[in-house]
Amino acid sequence: MSKINKEQISAKGFSIQVYTEDFKNDYISLTDIAKYKNTDDPRFVIQNWMRNRNTLEFIGLWEALNNPNFNRVQFDTFRNEAGIKDLR
């Protein structure tokens, strides 16, 4: 396993952690981005993002493009429930 490198970028005065293992696959900290909206408790911002239908559409597209084992039928069932109050 290769070493994980951690770097920072700055956006609107907030530091955002960026992690990379091979300089081809970068991972950006959603928690750091969410701190822009709620510095004390960013988890609530992330919870709301994950319930948003547009977020689920993006995740589904990314998975379809990058995950050969992606179960589209199962995802479509989950996606169709997005925005329903019981999806928590």
- Give the SS3 label for residue 75: helix
Instruction: Give the pLDDT confidence of 58-87 residue by residue, as tens digits.
Output: 999 999 998 999 999 999 888 887 765 554
pTM of the model: 0.65
Backbone angles phi, psi at 33, to 5 degrees: -65, -40
Which pLDDT score is estimated for 82?
A: 72
